[in-house]
Amino acid sequence: MRRRAAADNGPPLPGTGRATLAVVRRGIMEHVDAKELGATLRTWRERVAPAEAGLPSGAQRRTPGLRREEVAHLAGLSVDYLARLEQGRARNPSPSVLEPLARALRLTDDEREHLFRLAGHGGPERGTMRRHLTPSIQRILDRLADTPVLVVDAALEVVAWNPLFAAVAGDPSGRTPRERNVAWGLFTGAPSRFSRDVAERARIEEETAADLREAAGRYPDDPRLAELIADLRAASPRFEALWQERPVAPRQASRKTVVHPEAGPITFDCDALEVNGTDLRLVIYTAVPGSPDEAALALVGALGLQTFGDAAHTR
């Protein structure tokens, strides 16, 4: 007789200090080869050129590829925990550890699946999102250096961005995944550089609630999405009211205005492009050629990435 899965509260997430939400224990566990996992992580780390990760190559590198501390920083892990993984001394890393590692190491979809199997996890379950940032998407971010670009998943969680987006809208890197979520920031009133009037805000709120309603139908077994929706319904009366209305409001092509601390207001055309084979979308911000907005964007690019406190938030 097949045993049912049981869930309980999870321990702190190794190497990050963050708590996991739940641990699902199944009757059959896959074998974990910690030494092979560690050797594979080292091999993949050593093949990534620093320039691919947006890092300076430098002349003092004694090993090929990325340094351990660089991968740890990119993945949001502690250097000690990554060292234990590579040395085969840490077992059963969670998917919350493996996902950012796969992105930092620029893994293909097949390599990501292999990483999860080595760690004792199967591939993504049906009814859950495919959030993996593929090398091709990362290359797009790298190539579009003069255009702000954001990558979000179907739950509107920010997965990646390029340096110019961070310079324009504020650097998301110091925030938690929940704080980086577009819907969470919108409905909880987080500070933002994006400026909108009452009518525009109401339209965006309706579109955002409709996005999450559609996502819930497409990914009924995605725990992160379910938790986000439950928390939004508890935290925001406006979201709860919209959720009860079961809105259907496809997103329209739109213009967005960012009030930059140095360059002032900049208005962009905003287009969202679906990424084939994933549940991600690219959000691209372009200024009209020859306009004052294009000149202001060039100024921001010249100023480079700057952090102006916690007042900047993406949504």
User: For the chain, how many structural domains are there in total?
Assistant: 2
Average pLDDT over residues 173-200: 92
- Domain contains 60: yes
Distance of CA 301 to the CA centre of its chain: 23
Task: Please check whether residues 15 and 146 belong to one and the same domain.
Answer: no
Task: Please check whether residues 164 and 232 belong to one and the same domain.
Answer: yes
CA distance readout (Å), 231 to 20, 41, 49, 153, 279: 16, 35, 40, 18, 22
Task: Please check whether residues 58 and 196 belong to one and the same domain.
Answer: no
Task: Please check whether residues 25 and 81 belong to one and the same domain.
Answer: yes
Task: Please check whether residues 29 and 62 belong to one and the same domain.
Answer: yes
Q: How confident is the model at residue 32 (pLDDT cuts 50, 70, 90)?
A: low
**Residue 257 is encoded by which pair of tokens?**
């205005």
Q: How confident is the model at residue 18 (pLDDT cuts 50, 70, 90)?
A: very low
Q: What is the pLDDT of residue 126?
A: 57
- In this structure, what CATH number is given to the domain that contains residue 226? 3.30.450.180
Task: Please check whether residues 110 and 143 belong to one and the same domain.
Answer: no
Average pLDDT over residues 294-313: 68
Task: Please check whether residues 174 and 290 belong to one and the same domain.
Answer: yes
> Closest by alpha carbon to 48, among 104, 98, 87, 101?
104
Task: Please check whether residues 193 and 285 belong to one and the same domain.
Answer: yes
- Domain contains 126: no
- In this structure, what CATH number is given to the domain that contains residue 108? 1.10.260.40
Dihedral angle, C-alpha 187, 192, 193, 197, nearest 10 °: 40
Residue 146 has pLDDT above 80, yes or no: yes
- Domain contains 58: yes
- Domain contains 152: yes
pTM of the entire structure? 0.66
**Could you list the residue range(s) of the whole structural domain that residue 258 is in?**
135-311
User: Lowest-pLDDT range, 50-64, 170-184, 283-297?
Assistant: 50-64
Place of tokens 């969202």: 272
d(CA 66, CA 79): 13
**Average pLDDT taken over every residue of the chain:** 82
> What pLDDT digit, counting tens, does each position of 255-274 carry?
999 999 999 999 999 999 98
Exposure class string for 8-17: b at 16+ Cβ within 10 A, else e: eeeeebbbbe
Residue 124 contacts by C-beta under 8 Å, 6 or more apart in sequence?
A: 130
Compare 241 and 123 and report the one with higher pLDDT.
Answer: 241
Q: What is the pLDDT of residue 131?
A: 81
Out of 118, 146, 175, a domain closes at 118
Task: Please check whether residues 147 and 190 belong to one and the same domain.
Answer: yes
Task: Please check whether residues 272 and 177 belong to one and the same domain.
Answer: yes
